[in-house]
Structure 1
Amino acid sequence: MFQPSQHDVRTFFCQTWAKHQAGEVLAPIETLAAGWMDEHPEYHADLADLPAALAASYSVDEGRTNPFLHLSMHLSISEQVSIDQPRGVRQAVALLAAKRNSLHQAQHEVMECLGEMLWASQRSGLPPDGHAYLDAIRRRATAD
């Protein structure tokens, strides 16, 4: 399984952003990442400075979202949807996106569900519960 380091992740996003800004040809995963980076102008300064990105610490106390974690979650959810894993996530995200009239907003809500699932897994010591994750997304997609 691919397990990039924090350094690898930050380097990937910063280098992809630089290539995107220069109009260079991007690999498919870079194209996907660049699309999510475009959706987050508040991260552009972070993405434009690799040395600062590698040195940065994004603690809860600072009250600032870690742009690299956030963008990684967008990529993870996009990949889940593309391969429909867990089975049914593609439909659930599509329903939520239609309800919110925004794929971006839907992905942010799915991030909350993903975070809850991972937190529960870490707390319990059990593997992540894909069924609970999918149920949480479906509840958001069908709630009034």
Structure 2
Amino acid sequence: MFAPSQHDVRSFFCEAWRKQRAAETMSPMETLAAEWITRHPEYHADLADREAALAAVYTVEDGRTNPFLHLSMHLSISEQVSIDQPRGIRQAVELLAARRQDLHAAHHEVMDLLGEMIWQSQRSGLPPDPHAYLDRVRQRATR
């Protein structure tokens, strides 16, 4: 199982953004990350300063979204859709994106549901429930 450290995750996003701006060759994952970073100009300054990014602390009290968590969730959802895991997530996300006429907006809705599933798992001590998560995404896509 791949378990990158906070340092690894932050370095990955900063490097993907640096390569994007320098028009350097990127891996497929870096390319996908750079696409999501481009859609979030509010994070560009955070990602441009690698040392500050590595040292930054994001708390709820600060009222700022952690850009690394947010971008990681975009990548997670993109990966779920690409491999259709849980089975049916691709169709549900595509339907939600079509209904919202915006893939990015759909991702943000799915992100809320993904975060809720993780929170429920942590709170209950049980494994994440991908079926309940998929059901919630489907419900969102059909209303």
Cα drift, residue 63 of structure 1: 0.3
Amino acid paired to 2:55: A
**Which residue number corresponds to residue 5 of structure 1?**
5
Give distance in 1, aligned partners of 2:83 and 2:47.
28
Give distance in 2, aligned partners of 1:118 and 1:69.
13
Cα drift, residue 15 of structure 1: 0.8
2:119 aligned with 1:119: yes
Give distance in 2, aligned partners of 1:12 and 1:69.
12
CA root-mean-square deviation: 0.4
**Which residue number corresponds to residue 47 of structure 1?**
47
SS at match of 1:138: helix
Unaligned runs of 5+ in 2: none
Cα drift, residue 17 of structure 1: 0.5
Write the deviation string for residues 17-63 of structure 1: whole angstroms up to 9, x where unpaired. Answer: 00110000111000000000000000000000000001100000000
Cα drift, residue 67 of structure 1: 0.3
Give distance in 2, aligned partners of 1:16 and 1:114.
24
Give distance in 1, aligned partners of 2:6 and 2:29.
18
Cα drift, residue 103 of structure 1: 0.4
**Which residue number corresponds to residue 81 of structure 2?**
81
Percent identity between matched residues is 73
Write the deviation string for residues 76-131 of structure 1: whole angstroms up to 9, x where unpaired. Answer: 00000000000000000000000000000000000000001001101111100000
TM value normalised by structure 1: 0.99
- Runs of 4+ in structure 1 deviating by more than 4 angstroms, as ranges, are none
Q: Where in structure 2 are the equivalents of 1:33-112 lying within 5 Å?
A: 33-112=33-112
Amino acid paired to 1:130: P
TM value normalised by structure 2: 0.99
